[in-house]
Amino acid sequence: MTPRKYIKIIAVFAIFCMLIPIVFAYKAEEENSPLLRFSQLCHFGTDFSISSNDSATCYSSAEVDTISYNITLDMQLQRSSNGRTWSTVRNWSSSGTGSALLDKTYYVSPGYDYRLHVTATVSNASGCILETATKDSSIVSY
C-alpha cells in the first residue's frame, strides 16, 4: 500500500470516530433522556387525578442538585371543552430552597377535560433565573 492509501484510510476512520458521539447524542435526545432535558432540575414531576366525588387531586414537585438554588412552582388547573384550547380554573404557587412541593385539592365540574400545567423556575441567591421548565399532566376527561 502506498502512503496515500494509508492517509485516506486514517482520514475515513477519523471521520467515522467523530460521527459516533453525534449519533449517540441524537439517540439519547430521541429517548427523552432526563439528563439532557434539564440543566438544573434533577426532579420535576406532576400527578393529577379526579375522584368520583368531583375532587381533583393536584400534585407537583421539583428539586435541584444545588440545594442553595431557589425553585418556584406555578401550578395551573386547566379545563377544556374541545381538547385544544385550555382555560385556567385555579392557580397555586410555592417556592423553596432546593425543592418545592404543591399538593392541592379542588372540586371540579363534570363535562370537561382537565389537566395540570406546571412551570418550575430555578434561580440562584441573586435572583438570576437559571432555568424555566414546563410540564403538563395527563388529561383527565370527567
**How far is the C-alpha of 76 from the C-alpha of 86, rounded, in Å?**
10
Q: What is the pLDDT of residue 13?
A: 62
Find the mean pLDDT for residues 44-68: 92
Residue 16 has pLDDT above 60, yes or no: no
Q: How many CB atoms lie within 10 A of CB 48?
A: 20
Select the more confidently predicted residue: 95 or 15: 95
CA distances from residue 129 to 49, 107, 113, 121 in whole angstroms, order as listed: 31, 34, 33, 7
114-131 burial code (b ≥16 CB/10 A, e <16): bbbbbbbbbbeeeeeeeb
Q: How far apart are CA 90 and CA 64, in angstroms?
A: 26
77-123 tens-digit pLDDT: 999 998 889 999 999 999 999 999 999 999 999 999 999 999 999 99
Q: Which of 1-10, 54-63, 89-98 has the lowest mean pLDDT?
A: 1-10
Q: How far apart are the first and last CA of the chain?
A: 74
| Residues 94 and 87 sit within 8 Å (Cβ to Cβ) | no
